Structure 1
């Protein structure tokens, strides 16, 4: 197979949760540019429809925008059923929906901690479980969980007081590895992306507080751009990664290497 064919997603269908903005929108755009049909889902229907419509216009792929609270099993099931009915298969799932909460650990409200864990961990589990039912039946599939460099170890409190977020992303990494082991025999590759610091609505507070501190510890000397996740996501979504599973691909400008 020619190397360019390994990255061709023509005819594939990808679900991107939290795809209405930020990193999810960037990933959805990259997969659409590679030829995949795109299903964008998040809590805000309007945002999903806007992104879906834009991707269809720009790339010509089929798209669908749906509202979905990934912590609600009934809404997750509705998305999976709609995608299967409209597209026939679910080839790629990107679990990108996420939440965070900033507060010193001694002051972190338990409700905030639970909310972050529920969205980032339980939501990833529910989407994977329901999409996985389809993938196991198909005998193939790709699941990409969006973790974070914050899940690789402790974060300096001078720029990141988000114990719930960090804990949740560590859980996502272990979940990724375990699911890869469980579903490898069904030809389902499960991997994670661990982005570093990208300017998004979610990261604004951290970057406002500790942006200089972060850049000083980033070998490439910049934050992530609007295209820096596209290639990494495409690799994990395509045939190019058919022999890669249970891995965590870090996209952080080298910050993790300098710690």
Structure 2
């Protein structure tokens, strides 16, 4: 019986690969055999993530600093990734952030910044990396959406903009899946619930009671861990998902099935 998740020989780029979920996904891709490049704005963050991944998997990770909200920077990222790895087979978009403000107090520059990072950059990387995938008739694109794409936060809690951006990522995923369905490219997403990342740890430090409140609302009774997202992404990146496109796998402890 073949190793269903074997990615040996595949070339993968993880945008946002220096962050909590992105780093876990990059680690998983490397563990299952892919050659991996990670990208993000801060070179030092990328290198720290690459060092950790090598310690855990033994594989070298390519680091390419780039601002994915810039079309020129994304084109340069694409060129550098192809030069370092060869033609890219797998693209993961894990970039994004959440700056919380009630909508009536939301600074327009924050709103526009989140739309640019969480949505526009995903579109830019998808369409740029899809060029080579379309030429070869093969590609796997996996976007990181969120449970917030389909479930609003009670009383908002400053998450309206973030929820809007993740809903956009999910619809972008579905639309690109339809657009590229006959070109050999699958486009899917994962939708994590609240996940323990360095960013969330800082939020909980500032709001000590928040963790218990949020945890109580997840049917499985715990917050997500970054590694919870590895296997769903590996499935979507592998040949086992060849007939799966336009879908979102919710790594959410059951949150999406309750009111």
Q: TM-score by structure 1 length?
A: 0.93
Tell me the equivalent position of 2:119: 121
Q: Deviations over 1:174-218 (max 9, x none)?
A: 000000000011110000110001112333466536322222221
- Tell me which residue corresponds to 2:241: 241
Query: Following TM superposition, by how much is the alpha carbon of 1:155 offset from its aligned partner in structure 2, in angstroms?
Result: 1.6
CA distance in 1, matches of 2:113, 2:195: 22
Hey, what does 2:213 align to over in structure 1? 213
Question: In the alignment, what sits opposite 2:74?
Answer: 76
Q: How does 1:134-173 map onto structure 2 within 5 Å?
A: 134-157=132-155, 160-173=157-170
Deviations 1:83-139, CA, capped at 9 Å, x for gaps = 112222111100011021101111111111110011010000000011000111111
Mapped pair 1:230 → 2:227 = no
Distance (whole Å) between structure 2 residues aligned to residue 61 and residue 188 of structure 1: 27
For residues 254 and 222 of structure 1, the distance between their equivalents in structure 2, rounded to whole angstroms, comes to: 10
Segment of structure 1 superposing worse, 203-212 or 165-174? 203-212
User: 2:89·2:133 contact (CA, 8 Å) conserved in 1?
Assistant: yes
Contact 2:13–2:37 (Cα < 8 Å) also in 1: yes
Give the aligned partner of residue 99 of structure 1: 97
- What is the CA RMSD across the aligned residues, in angstroms? 1.6
In the alignment, which of 187, 194, 198 is matched to residue 195 of structure 2?
198
Secondary structure of 1:41's aligned partner: strand
Distance of 1:79 and 1:54 partners within structure 2: 22
**Regions of 4+ moved over 6 Å:** none
Q: What is the match of residue 177 of structure 2?
A: 180
Unaligned runs of 5+ in 2: none
Equivalent pairs, count = 256
How big is each residue's C-alpha offset from its partner over 1:27-82, in whole Å with a ceiling of 9 and x where there is no partner? 11111110111101000011212322443454344421011111011111111101
Matches within 5 A, 1:32-111: 32-111=30-109
Residue aligned with 2:186, SS: strand
Q: Which moved more, 1:194-203 or 1:204-213?
A: 204-213
